[in-house]
Protein backbone atom coordinates (compact mmCIF):
# COMPACT_ATOMS: atom_id res chain seq x y z
CA UNK A 1 0.00 0.00 0.00
CA UNK A 2 1.55 3.25 -1.21
CA UNK A 3 0.36 5.40 1.70
CA UNK A 4 2.19 3.20 4.20
CA UNK A 5 5.50 4.03 2.51
CA UNK A 6 5.30 7.82 2.37
CA UNK A 7 5.64 10.46 5.07
CA UNK A 8 5.60 14.20 4.56
CA UNK A 9 4.04 17.16 6.32
CA UNK A 10 2.06 18.14 3.21
CA UNK A 11 0.76 14.64 2.47
CA UNK A 12 -2.15 13.14 4.37
CA UNK A 13 -1.02 10.75 7.13
CA UNK A 14 -2.34 7.20 7.13
CA UNK A 15 -3.06 6.42 10.79
CA UNK A 16 -4.50 2.94 10.62
CA UNK A 17 -5.93 0.25 8.36
CA UNK A 18 -8.94 -1.85 9.35
CA UNK A 19 -10.58 -4.80 7.66
CA UNK A 20 -14.11 -5.98 8.40
CA UNK A 21 -14.13 -9.73 7.88
CA UNK A 22 -17.93 -9.89 7.87
CA UNK A 23 -18.34 -8.03 4.58
CA UNK A 24 -14.63 -7.89 3.58
CA UNK A 25 -14.66 -4.10 3.53
CA UNK A 26 -11.45 -2.15 4.02
CA UNK A 27 -11.15 1.11 5.96
CA UNK A 28 -8.28 3.58 5.85
CA UNK A 29 -8.08 5.96 8.81
CA UNK A 30 -6.39 9.33 8.30
CA UNK A 31 -5.75 12.42 10.36
CA UNK A 32 -8.86 14.59 10.30
CA UNK A 33 -8.64 17.78 8.23
CA UNK A 34 -11.47 20.24 8.71
CA UNK A 35 -11.23 22.01 5.36
CA UNK A 36 -10.43 21.48 1.69
CA UNK A 37 -9.71 23.91 -1.13
CA UNK A 38 -13.05 23.25 -2.80
CA UNK A 39 -15.00 24.46 0.23
CA UNK A 40 -12.62 27.36 0.85
CA UNK A 41 -12.97 28.57 -2.75
CA UNK A 42 -16.74 28.10 -2.70
CA UNK A 43 -16.99 30.07 0.55
CA UNK A 44 -15.21 33.05 -0.99
CA UNK A 45 -17.21 32.83 -4.21
CA UNK A 46 -20.73 32.20 -2.91
CA UNK A 47 -20.78 33.60 0.63
CA UNK A 48 -17.95 36.01 1.33
CA UNK A 49 -18.03 37.40 -2.23
CA UNK A 50 -14.40 38.48 -2.12
CA UNK A 51 -11.16 36.84 -3.32
CA UNK A 52 -8.61 35.04 -1.19
CA UNK A 53 -5.82 37.32 -0.02
CA UNK A 54 -2.41 37.01 -1.65
CA UNK A 55 -0.81 35.53 1.45
CA UNK A 56 -3.35 32.69 1.64
CA UNK A 57 -3.10 31.90 -2.08
CA UNK A 58 0.69 31.90 -2.00
CA UNK A 59 0.86 29.80 1.18
CA UNK A 60 -1.63 27.21 -0.08
CA UNK A 61 0.17 26.94 -3.42
CA UNK A 62 3.65 26.69 -1.88
CA UNK A 63 2.61 23.91 0.47
CA UNK A 64 0.85 22.04 -2.34
CA UNK A 65 4.02 22.22 -4.44
CA UNK A 66 6.12 21.21 -1.44
CA UNK A 67 4.13 18.01 -0.96
CA UNK A 68 4.03 17.32 -4.68
CA UNK A 69 7.79 17.79 -4.96
CA UNK A 70 8.20 15.08 -2.31
CA UNK A 71 5.91 12.71 -4.23
CA UNK A 72 7.56 13.32 -7.59
CA UNK A 73 11.04 12.96 -6.10
CA UNK A 74 9.97 9.50 -5.01
CA UNK A 75 8.55 8.62 -8.46
CA UNK A 76 4.90 8.97 -7.46
CA UNK A 77 2.31 10.60 -9.72
CA UNK A 78 -0.89 11.57 -7.91
CA UNK A 79 -3.04 11.72 -11.08
CA UNK A 80 -6.13 13.22 -9.45
CA UNK A 81 -5.21 16.63 -8.09
CA UNK A 82 -8.23 18.91 -7.70
CA UNK A 83 -9.43 21.32 -4.99
CA UNK A 84 -11.51 18.72 -3.12
CA UNK A 85 -8.43 16.49 -2.78
CA UNK A 86 -6.30 19.25 -1.23
CA UNK A 87 -7.10 19.28 2.48
CA UNK A 88 -6.28 22.07 4.95
CA UNK A 89 -5.89 21.39 8.65
CA UNK A 90 -8.14 23.21 11.12
CA UNK A 91 -7.47 24.50 14.62
CA UNK A 92 -4.54 22.80 16.35
CA UNK A 93 -0.81 22.32 15.97
CA UNK A 94 -1.00 22.11 12.18
CA UNK A 95 -3.60 24.79 11.58
CA UNK A 96 -3.53 26.05 8.00
CA UNK A 97 -1.24 23.26 6.76
CA UNK A 98 -2.04 21.70 3.38
CA UNK A 99 -2.37 17.92 3.04
CA UNK A 100 -2.52 16.23 -0.36
CA UNK A 101 -5.14 13.46 -0.12
CA UNK A 102 -6.93 10.74 -2.12
CA UNK A 103 -4.25 8.49 -3.56
CA UNK A 104 -6.69 6.12 -5.26
CA UNK A 105 -5.19 6.86 -8.70
CA UNK A 106 -1.58 7.43 -7.61
CA UNK A 107 1.08 5.29 -9.27
CA UNK A 108 4.82 4.72 -9.26
CA UNK A 109 6.11 5.93 -12.63
CA UNK A 110 9.86 5.24 -12.50
CA UNK A 111 9.70 2.04 -14.55
CA UNK A 112 6.09 0.88 -15.06
CA UNK A 113 5.63 -2.60 -16.53
CA UNK A 114 2.68 -1.34 -18.58
CA UNK A 115 1.94 2.02 -20.17
CA UNK A 116 0.13 4.20 -17.65
CA UNK A 117 -2.73 4.80 -20.08
CA UNK A 118 -3.85 1.20 -19.51
CA UNK A 119 -4.94 2.25 -16.01
CA UNK A 120 -7.92 4.00 -17.62
CA UNK A 121 -9.22 7.51 -17.10
CA UNK A 122 -7.21 9.63 -14.67
CA UNK A 123 -7.59 13.20 -13.40
CA UNK A 124 -10.97 14.90 -13.10
CA UNK A 125 -11.70 16.42 -16.51
CA UNK A 126 -11.35 20.13 -15.63
CA UNK A 127 -7.82 19.48 -14.34
CA UNK A 128 -6.74 16.98 -17.01
CA UNK A 129 -3.60 17.82 -18.97
CA UNK A 130 -3.83 18.23 -22.78
CA UNK A 131 -1.56 15.26 -23.46
CA UNK A 132 -4.04 13.05 -21.61
CA UNK A 133 -6.99 14.53 -23.50
CA UNK A 134 -5.16 13.85 -26.76
CA UNK A 135 -4.64 10.19 -25.90
CA UNK A 136 -1.00 10.03 -24.76
CA UNK A 137 -0.02 6.45 -23.93
CA UNK A 138 2.95 7.49 -21.86
CA UNK A 139 3.01 10.48 -19.55
CA UNK A 140 4.93 11.81 -16.58
CA UNK A 141 4.52 13.83 -13.41
CA UNK A 142 3.92 16.83 -15.68
CA UNK A 143 0.21 15.91 -15.65
CA UNK A 144 0.16 16.82 -11.95
CA UNK A 145 1.75 20.19 -12.64
CA UNK A 146 -0.95 21.04 -15.18
CA UNK A 147 -3.54 20.27 -12.51
CA UNK A 148 -1.69 22.53 -10.04
CA UNK A 149 -1.80 25.31 -12.62
CA UNK A 150 -5.56 24.90 -12.90
CA UNK A 151 -5.87 24.97 -9.10
CA UNK A 152 -3.66 28.08 -8.90
CA UNK A 153 -5.91 29.88 -11.40
CA UNK A 154 -8.98 28.79 -9.45
CA UNK A 155 -7.54 30.19 -6.22
CA UNK A 156 -7.08 33.51 -8.01
CA UNK A 157 -10.45 33.71 -9.79
CA UNK A 158 -12.68 31.51 -7.57
CA UNK A 159 -13.89 29.52 -10.56
CA UNK A 160 -12.50 26.61 -12.59
CA UNK A 161 -10.28 27.74 -15.45
CA UNK A 162 -11.39 25.16 -18.03
CA UNK A 163 -15.00 24.04 -17.48
CA UNK A 164 -15.60 21.51 -20.23
CA UNK A 165 -18.63 19.24 -20.54
CA UNK A 166 -17.53 15.67 -19.85
CA UNK A 167 -18.44 12.97 -22.35
CA UNK A 168 -19.73 9.79 -20.76
CA UNK A 169 -19.73 6.41 -22.42
CA UNK A 170 -16.91 4.14 -23.58
CA UNK A 171 -13.68 3.85 -21.61
CA UNK A 172 -11.64 7.04 -21.91
CA UNK A 173 -13.85 8.82 -24.48
CA UNK A 174 -12.52 11.74 -26.50
CA UNK A 175 -13.19 14.96 -24.55
CA UNK A 176 -13.45 17.47 -27.38
CA UNK A 177 -15.28 20.13 -25.36
CA UNK A 178 -12.58 20.18 -22.69
CA UNK A 179 -9.90 20.72 -25.33
CA UNK A 180 -12.05 23.45 -26.84
CA UNK A 181 -12.16 25.26 -23.48
CA UNK A 182 -8.37 25.03 -23.14
CA UNK A 183 -7.67 26.22 -26.69
CA UNK A 184 -9.99 29.21 -26.28
CA UNK A 185 -7.88 30.45 -23.35
CA UNK A 186 -4.36 29.39 -24.31
CA UNK A 187 -4.67 29.43 -28.08
CA UNK A 188 -4.12 26.59 -30.54
CA UNK A 189 -1.09 24.34 -29.93
CA UNK A 190 1.39 24.01 -32.76
CA UNK A 191 3.87 21.37 -33.85
CA UNK A 192 6.60 24.00 -33.72
CA UNK A 193 6.07 24.63 -30.00
CA UNK A 194 5.06 21.06 -29.13
CA UNK A 195 6.89 18.65 -31.50
CA UNK A 196 5.47 15.41 -30.05
CA UNK A 197 1.93 16.71 -30.59
CA UNK A 198 1.86 15.04 -34.01
CA UNK A 199 2.27 11.62 -32.39
CA UNK A 200 -0.78 11.84 -30.12
CA UNK A 201 -3.67 9.61 -31.30
CA UNK A 202 -6.51 12.10 -30.93
CA UNK A 203 -4.54 14.83 -32.69
CA UNK A 204 -3.98 12.51 -35.65
CA UNK A 205 -7.55 11.21 -35.86
CA UNK A 206 -9.73 14.28 -35.32
CA UNK A 207 -8.38 16.51 -38.06
CA UNK A 208 -11.63 18.44 -38.58
CA UNK A 209 -12.28 19.53 -34.99
CA UNK A 210 -8.76 19.90 -33.61
CA UNK A 211 -6.30 20.60 -36.39
CA UNK A 212 -8.81 22.26 -38.68
CA UNK A 213 -10.34 24.66 -36.14
CA UNK A 214 -8.16 27.67 -35.39
CA UNK A 215 -8.44 29.60 -32.15
CA UNK A 216 -7.63 33.18 -31.34
CA UNK A 217 -5.52 33.40 -28.20
CA UNK A 218 -7.79 35.20 -25.75
CA UNK A 219 -4.86 35.60 -23.40
CA UNK A 220 -4.56 33.79 -20.11
CA UNK A 221 -3.87 37.10 -18.37
CA UNK A 222 -7.32 38.37 -19.37
CA UNK A 223 -8.95 35.37 -17.71
CA UNK A 224 -6.99 35.40 -14.45
CA UNK A 225 -6.63 39.21 -14.37
CA UNK A 226 -2.86 39.21 -13.96
CA UNK A 227 -0.31 41.41 -15.64
CA UNK A 228 1.67 39.40 -18.24
CA UNK A 229 4.83 40.79 -16.62
CA UNK A 230 3.94 39.71 -13.08
CA UNK A 231 5.76 36.80 -11.38
CA UNK A 232 2.39 35.18 -10.61
CA UNK A 233 1.47 35.13 -14.30
CA UNK A 234 4.91 33.83 -15.27
CA UNK A 235 4.61 30.92 -12.84
CA UNK A 236 1.06 30.11 -13.91
CA UNK A 237 1.91 30.17 -17.61
CA UNK A 238 4.82 27.79 -17.01
CA UNK A 239 2.49 25.37 -15.22
CA UNK A 240 0.09 25.54 -18.17
CA UNK A 241 2.75 24.95 -20.83
CA UNK A 242 1.35 22.68 -23.58
CA UNK A 243 4.51 20.63 -24.07
CA UNK A 244 4.88 18.45 -20.94
CA UNK A 245 8.64 18.29 -21.46
CA UNK A 246 8.83 22.08 -21.08
CA UNK A 247 6.29 22.36 -18.27
CA UNK A 248 7.76 23.58 -14.99
CA UNK A 249 8.42 20.94 -12.32
CA UNK A 250 7.41 21.16 -8.68
CA UNK A 251 11.05 21.59 -7.65
CA UNK A 252 11.54 24.43 -10.13
CA UNK A 253 8.27 26.08 -9.10
CA UNK A 254 9.38 26.18 -5.47
CA UNK A 255 12.36 28.29 -6.55
CA UNK A 256 10.27 30.72 -8.58
CA UNK A 257 10.48 34.46 -7.99
CA UNK A 258 6.78 34.54 -7.08
CA UNK A 259 7.58 32.98 -3.71
CA UNK A 260 10.38 35.48 -2.98
CA UNK A 261 8.12 38.51 -2.99
CA UNK A 262 5.98 39.88 -0.18
CA UNK A 263 3.83 38.52 1.24
CA UNK A 264 6.02 35.47 1.79
CA UNK A 265 4.32 32.06 2.01
CA UNK A 266 3.52 30.98 5.55
CA UNK A 267 3.15 27.89 7.69
CA UNK A 268 -0.46 28.73 8.59
CA UNK A 269 -2.19 29.58 5.32
CA UNK A 270 -5.38 30.63 7.12
CA UNK A 271 -3.98 33.21 9.54
CA UNK A 272 -4.81 36.89 8.84
CA UNK A 273 -1.88 38.58 7.15
CA UNK A 274 -2.88 42.22 7.48
CA UNK A 275 -3.61 44.31 10.62
CA UNK A 276 -7.33 44.38 11.34
CA UNK A 277 -8.04 41.42 9.07
CA UNK A 278 -10.42 38.95 10.68
CA UNK A 279 -10.04 35.18 10.87
CA UNK A 280 -12.40 33.55 8.37
CA UNK A 281 -14.58 30.76 9.69
CA UNK A 282 -14.51 28.36 6.78
CA UNK A 283 -17.07 25.54 6.58
CA UNK A 284 -15.81 22.23 7.91
CA UNK A 285 -15.88 18.97 6.04
CA UNK A 286 -18.84 16.75 6.99
CA UNK A 287 -18.32 14.17 9.72
CA UNK A 288 -20.09 10.80 9.85
CA UNK A 289 -20.37 9.50 13.42
CA UNK A 290 -21.86 6.14 12.43
CA UNK A 291 -18.65 4.39 11.43
CA UNK A 292 -17.77 1.75 14.02
CA UNK A 293 -14.52 -0.20 14.02
CA UNK A 294 -15.84 -2.84 16.42
CA UNK A 295 -15.28 -6.29 14.99
CA UNK A 296 -12.59 -5.14 12.57
CA UNK A 297 -8.95 -6.17 12.47
CA UNK A 298 -6.29 -3.48 12.67
CA UNK A 299 -3.50 -4.16 10.18
CA UNK A 300 -1.04 -1.35 10.92
CA UNK A 301 -0.26 0.28 13.18
CA UNK A 302 -1.49 -2.04 15.91
CA UNK A 303 -2.93 0.69 18.16
CA UNK A 304 -6.65 1.34 18.10
CA UNK A 305 -7.72 4.32 16.01
CA UNK A 306 -9.78 6.75 18.07
CA UNK A 307 -10.46 9.24 15.31
CA UNK A 308 -9.53 10.32 11.81
CA UNK A 309 -11.09 9.96 8.38
CA UNK A 310 -12.25 6.47 7.49
CA UNK A 311 -12.51 5.55 3.85
CA UNK A 312 -14.57 2.51 2.93
CA UNK A 313 -12.93 1.14 -0.18
CA UNK A 314 -16.27 -0.32 -1.27
CA UNK A 315 -18.17 2.92 -0.88
CA UNK A 316 -17.82 6.60 -0.17
CA UNK A 317 -15.86 8.61 2.33
CA UNK A 318 -16.68 8.49 6.03
CA UNK A 319 -15.09 10.29 8.93
CA UNK A 320 -14.73 9.74 12.63
CA UNK A 321 -16.42 12.27 14.84
CA UNK A 322 -13.49 13.80 16.71
CA UNK A 323 -10.12 14.85 15.29
CA UNK A 324 -7.37 13.10 17.20
CA UNK A 325 -4.79 15.08 19.13
CA UNK A 326 -1.45 15.25 17.36
CA UNK A 327 1.20 13.42 19.35
CA UNK A 328 4.11 15.01 17.54
CA UNK A 329 4.47 17.59 14.85
CA UNK A 330 5.01 21.27 14.40
CA UNK A 331 4.72 23.46 17.50
CA UNK A 332 1.68 25.63 18.08
CA UNK A 333 2.48 29.22 17.20
CA UNK A 334 1.29 32.34 19.09
CA UNK A 335 -1.51 34.28 17.42
CA UNK A 336 0.51 37.51 17.26
CA UNK A 337 3.21 36.10 15.03
CA UNK A 338 2.29 32.90 13.26
CA UNK A 339 5.41 31.25 11.97
CA UNK A 340 6.11 31.24 8.29
CA UNK A 341 6.94 28.04 6.50
CA UNK A 342 10.40 26.62 6.80
CA UNK A 343 11.15 26.94 3.12
CA UNK A 344 13.74 24.19 3.06
CA UNK A 345 12.90 21.74 0.33
CA UNK A 346 11.33 18.56 1.59
CA UNK A 347 12.17 16.37 -1.36
CA UNK A 348 15.48 16.27 -3.01
CA UNK A 349 16.93 19.78 -3.07
CA UNK A 350 18.60 19.63 0.33
CA UNK A 351 18.35 23.39 0.94
CA UNK A 352 16.03 26.34 1.00
CA UNK A 353 14.95 26.33 -2.67
CA UNK A 354 16.35 29.41 -4.33
CA UNK A 355 17.35 30.95 -0.99
CA UNK A 356 13.85 32.31 -0.45
CA UNK A 357 13.87 34.80 2.44
CA UNK A 358 12.05 33.91 5.63
CA UNK A 359 9.27 36.13 6.89
CA UNK A 360 8.66 34.52 10.27
CA UNK A 361 10.88 31.49 10.70
CA UNK A 362 10.48 28.25 12.56
CA UNK A 363 13.10 25.71 13.48
CA UNK A 364 14.10 23.45 10.62
CA UNK A 365 14.29 20.54 13.07
CA UNK A 366 10.52 20.68 13.37
CA UNK A 367 10.16 19.86 9.69
CA UNK A 368 12.41 16.86 9.25
CA UNK A 369 10.80 14.20 7.11
CA UNK A 370 11.59 10.61 6.33
CA UNK A 371 12.86 9.62 2.93
CA UNK A 372 11.43 6.95 0.72
CA UNK A 373 14.08 4.37 -0.09
CA UNK A 374 14.86 4.93 -3.77
CA UNK A 375 15.24 1.84 -5.94
CA UNK A 376 17.36 3.73 -8.43
CA UNK A 377 19.18 6.59 -6.71
CA UNK A 378 20.96 7.40 -9.93
CA UNK A 379 17.85 8.78 -11.63
CA UNK A 380 16.08 12.06 -10.99
CA UNK A 381 16.61 14.33 -8.03
CA UNK A 382 18.35 12.92 -4.96
CA UNK A 383 16.09 12.12 -2.04
CA UNK A 384 16.24 13.18 1.55
CA UNK A 385 19.40 12.62 3.53
CA UNK A 386 18.96 9.56 5.75
CA UNK A 387 17.20 10.40 8.99
CA UNK A 388 16.33 8.50 12.09
CA UNK A 389 12.78 7.30 12.39
CA UNK A 390 10.67 9.02 14.99
CA UNK A 391 8.04 7.24 17.00
CA UNK A 392 4.60 8.74 16.58
CA UNK A 393 2.04 8.42 19.35
CA UNK A 394 -1.56 7.68 18.50
Distance, CA of 12 to CA of 6 (rounded, Å)? 9
237 burial level (CB within 10 Å; 0-12, 13-18, 19+): middle
Whether residue 79 contacts residue 107, with contact meaning beta carbons closer than 8 Å, is answered with yes
The rounded Cα 14 to chain-centroid distance in angstroms is 17
For residues 179 and 210, give the distance between their C-alpha atoms in angstroms, rounded to a whole number.
8
Q: Are 305 and 394 in contact (CB under 8 A)?
A: yes
234 is catalytic: no
Pick from 80, 73, 100, 55: which is nearest to 258 by CA?
Answer: 55
Residues 87, 81 contacting (CB under 8 angstroms): no
Q: Which helix (H) or strand (E) holds 47?
A: none
Give 276's contacts (C-beta < 8 A, 6+ positions apart).
none
Q: Is 339 exposed, middle or buried (0-12, 13-18, 19+ CB in 10 A)?
A: buried
d(CA 240, CA 234): 10
Give the number of other CB atoms < 10 A from CB of residue 209.
13
- DSSP per residue, 83-147: GGGEEE--SSTTTT-EEE---TT-EE-SS-SS-GGGG---S-GGG--HHHHTT-SS--THHHHHH
Q: d(Cα 255, Cα 68) in Å, to the nearest integer?
A: 14
Residue among 80, 102, 234, 288 flagged as catalytic? 80
Q: Return d(Cα 309, Cα 85) in angstroms, integer.
A: 13
Active-site annotation, residues: 80
Amino acid sequence: MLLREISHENVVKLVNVHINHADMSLYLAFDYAEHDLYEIIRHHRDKANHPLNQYTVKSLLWQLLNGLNYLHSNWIIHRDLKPSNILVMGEGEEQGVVKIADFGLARIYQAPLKPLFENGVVVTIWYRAPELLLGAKHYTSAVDMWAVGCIFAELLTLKPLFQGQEVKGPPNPFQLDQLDKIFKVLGHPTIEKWPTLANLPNWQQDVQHIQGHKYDNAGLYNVVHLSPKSPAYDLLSKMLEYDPRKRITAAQALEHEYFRLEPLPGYNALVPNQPGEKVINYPTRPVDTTTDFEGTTSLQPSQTVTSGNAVNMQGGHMARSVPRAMGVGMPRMPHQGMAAYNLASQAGMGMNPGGIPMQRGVSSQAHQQQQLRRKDPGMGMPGYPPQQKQQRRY
